[in-house]
Amino acid sequence: MDKNLKGYNRYLTDIIVKICDYVLLKENSGGSEMELPQLSVQDCDQLFNISSMNGVLPVVMQVFEKRHFEDAKLRQVVLKWYGVVQYFNSEYQKRLLTMRELATMFAEKDMDVMFFKGAALAQYFPKPEWRVFSDIDFYLYGKWKEGVDVMEQHGIANRLFFHHNTEASLHGILLENHYDFIERVNHKRHLILDEKLKELAKGEGHKVKASFMGDDINNAYVMTPTMNAIFLLRHMAAHFASETVTLRMLMEWTVFLKKEEEHIDWDTVVSLYKAANLMVFAGIIQHLQRTLLGTSFTKVPQFPVDEKKAERVWDSIANPPESNPYNKNTLKYLLFEGREFLGNRWKHKIVYPHESYFMLSLHYAWSIIKRKLGLLKV
């Protein structure tokens, strides 16, 4: 990527972070009073584009939607992206209704369901529809096969995925029925995290009702704060190692901690971070929260930080890798993925410092071969 473009993207990303900080963390959800730098029509369009790719467009729009713009072209750009935000709002409602439908299906068979990520995390935002998401992730407390049967009885066909969940579709929305919270194939040091999450789901997994789904839904739950503290950091780390951390991930982690830091069993969480070698990554994210958002938490332990690595991580967030432009599973697609995989080695060393990158590449290759040969099994 051209240095000038990288610098430009980073400049706009810094503005986006300041907007997210103002709207989400400074309790100024109106947003329209925030002072903004002078932005051209091109700047605005690219700022909204970057916001959308990072999943924070609805948040960013809060500082634009009630302003008056003299420039007709600038107004047109704002209106164009405002339309995208309205689409995201309707998609949130569509997913909420689909979750209700799923929970009702499972209730017919006296099955409980735990929804996580998605709408569950959206409740930490000033307005839930500001949290953009696509898939619906859920855990059936070990009864994933029964869940497949229930869905198929309602005409919803399931298929196996690479690992840790089955996939299905309802109303055009991807459903991920998790038998594992974290994939158990490639990162053995992280098995302890999946095992602990299942243990906690069994022990405290019925404590927090998914009340946002309505009073008539009595079999739906969400992760407890301790479960989320384990899951979310590892989920963010895994995305960073393979792609990047989006601003939405960074912000949802921050608004989650703002609300729940006092309710997390930090002794358990930190011991798991250490066991999984996630302390370096945890320290980097904490450093970014402190330096970019000016946010620190009194109950969250202080993690050691490598500031040089943190700067490189932030640069990779502001300038994420290019999306694969080729058709999936074509030779060009696989070559592009291979090149990206090799380029991510430095990220892998941060998230999985205990693993061989060469052996990981063999595992990935074998997973692809098994899928091609129809040998994929749970």
Predicted local confidence at residue 363, as pLDDT: 57
The rounded radius of gyration (Å) of the Cα atoms in the chain is: 21
Mean pLDDT of the chain: 91
Q: In this predicted structure, which of 24-38, 124-138, 297-311 has the lowest mean pLDDT?
A: 24-38
User: Residue 260 in contact with residue 228, Cβ under 8 Å?
Assistant: yes
User: Residue 91 in contact with residue 85, Cβ under 8 Å?
Assistant: no
Handedness of CA 35, 41, 43, 48 (dihedral sign): positive
Tens of pLDDT, residue by residue over 305-358, are 999 999 999 999 999 877 777 787 787 777 766 677 677 889 989 999 887 665
Domains of the chain, by residue range, sit at 3-373
Q: Look at 124 and 161; give whichever has higher pLDDT.
A: 124
Structure tokens that stand for 149 in this block: 């049967």
**pLDDT at residue 32 is higher than 90:** no
Predicted local confidence at residue 254, as pLDDT: 98
Average confidence (pLDDT) over 211-232: 98
Q: What is the 3-state secondary structure (H, E, C) of 285-297?
A: HHHHHHHHCCCCC
Helical H runs in the chain? 3-20, 41-53, 57-61, 72-107, 118-122, 144-153, 191-204, 225-242, 247-260, 266-275, 279-292, 307-318, 331-343, 345-351, 357-373
Report which of 21, 76, 20 is spatially closest to residue 45, judged by C-alpha positions.
76
Handedness of CA 83, 88, 91, 96 (dihedral sign): negative
Classify residue 249 by burial, with Cβ atoms within 10 Å: 0-12, 13-18, 19+: buried
Chain centroid to CA 189: 21
Separation between Cα atoms, residue 11 and residue 191, nearest integer Å: 39
User: Residue 65 in contact with residue 78, Cβ under 8 Å?
Assistant: yes
Average confidence (pLDDT) over 98-121: 98
Q: Predicted confidence band at 209 (pLDDT cuts at 50, 70, 90)? A: very high
**pLDDT at residue 261 is higher than 70:** yes
**pLDDT at residue 257 is higher than 90:** yes
Predicted local confidence at residue 187, as pLDDT: 81
Q: What percent of the chain has pLDDT over 70?
A: 90
Separation between Cα atoms, residue 251 and residue 62, nearest integer Å: 15
Is the full-model pTM beyond 0.85?
Answer: yes
**pLDDT at residue 80 is higher than 70:** yes
Question: Biggest alpha carbon distance in the chain?
Answer: 61
Which amino acid, one-letter code, is at 170? L
